[in-house]
Amino acid sequence: MPVGQARRQLAEFEPSHVNRLVVIDARLTCDCPAAEGHVEPVHLVAVRADRERQRRDADDPLGRDEYASFLFDFPQHPGGRLLAWLQAARYQRPPAVVGAPDEQHAPGGVENHGGHRRQWQRLLADAGAKIKDKLRSRHPGSLGDAARCVRRGIRVIAMSMRTLGSTGVQVSPLCLGAMMFGAWGNPDHDESVRIIHRALESGINFIDTADVYSAGESEQIVGKALAGGRRDNVVLATKAHGAMGRDVNERGNSRRWLIRECENSLRRLGTDYIDLYQIHRPDPATDIDETLGALSDLIRAGKIGYAGHSTFPAEAIVEAQWTAQRRGRERFVCEQPPYSILVRGAEADVLPVCQRYHLGVISWGPLASGWLTGRYRLDAEFPASRRAQRLPHRFDMSLPGNQLKLAAADQLAGLAAEAGMSLIHLALGFVLSHPAVTSAIIGPRTMEHLDSQLGAPADGLPADLLDRIDEIVPPGVNLNRADRGYEPPALADPARRRGSR
């Protein structure tokens, strides 16, 4: 097929409604080793589309069962067509309409270099650029330069994005949590920076850290990773509340501390603004209006873009929203609750409240502190864990709640295998299935941890699989009470339940 004719055919098939772009860079094996170093990779463009999109709500997500109508392929690749190669490499099938002529339609008479047809390569590259330009015009900001990646012969240019609450800010379904960078997890700063860069190159544009993580070391590592021009393409979030020193006022949610600690975080992160500044936990000693007043001033001063909170109970979320409205304060725009298959208490109140007030939800602990990684099985030795040393109440097997978690994790591992995915992907897909959830926070300590979590089903899991999960862990249930992340003072302090006599 002449190249001009191929271009016209591409124009006919070009989808008019798209919601995702994936460009895969397949480094194909050359027949002529001497020429291999002179051959550039072939760019294969994958665009997911729905031909019935015009008759549906533009915000309605595409179904998982919709398949490609055509496919751009490189028939000369050893082992057959591209899709077969992707599946053999255990790379998740692109949820995309990908363009593909048959072998007999490959352009003839084009100069070969080590088995590659350069003219066909140029056609694919031009087609990819054309479609990307159209996507950029329809979805500004969703295809940032920071979303470029070359990893093990595969390049993913863009990840589907979600809107953070009602802010209009677009964030990736996976948020990179930085708690494990530093003394709490990986003390190697250079390796931690490489992990962050890999995440950004894989399409993640959302990073969450906190001042208290390794006493500020995590923020310093994130700052190093974002130096050199990466900062502007990242939605950067951090948190304040935890104790950062021996002084009684170096903690909490008071104006005095938040104003000071925000400056400290800006310095450690090496930036002059924080996109999302979150209150790490409620502070019963501080009036919520005091906290909102400080955050409002930080927003107006340009120090932070938005304010959020983490692990707030439903009643505290409502109180904060009402206070902001009545006092003329900037309101919180998102909540960061603990949420996983084993920790489902948020489904009963927090997540519905967030939906009611149009708050974004950035769930922490989607792998339940490692319980949903596949390492915890009934027939296996109980694995050692750094978190178990810091948080023994979440791992002590003498506690009935942790025994229930082990039994559930074992059943879920079997379910994941039956569904043809890893338990990690099952766990992340479950969290991302909830309509209230914007992003799930992943907290890798090593590059292997990150690789195992990338590629999770961003569109969630099918209904039949979610039903099977509900049979193992009922909705709205926390198997271990300690996993909910916050104990109300009325329960934690017996004196609050007993009057003086």
| Annotated catalytic residue, options 213, 277, 339, 357 | 213
Contacts of 175 (CB under 8 A, 6+ apart): 204, 206, 207, 208, 237, 362, 439, 440, 441, 442
Burial 417-440 (b: 16+ CB within 10 A, else e): eebebbbbbbbbbbbbbbebbbbb
* Tokens read off for 302: 């340009």
* Tokens read off for 275: 């996109």
Active site residue 91: no
Pairing of strands 332-336, 304-310: parallel
The answer to whether the CB of 128 falls within 8 A of the CB of 137 is no
* Tokens read off for 376: 């915890």
Pairing of strands 18-26, 274-279: unpaired
Amino acid at 269: L
Amino acid at 119: Q
The answer to whether the CB of 242 falls within 8 A of the CB of 234 is no
* Tokens read off for 472: 């193992």
Q: Is 354 helix (H, G, I), strand (E, B) or coil?
A: helix
* Tokens read off for 54: 């015009």
Q: Which residues carry out catalysis?
A: 213
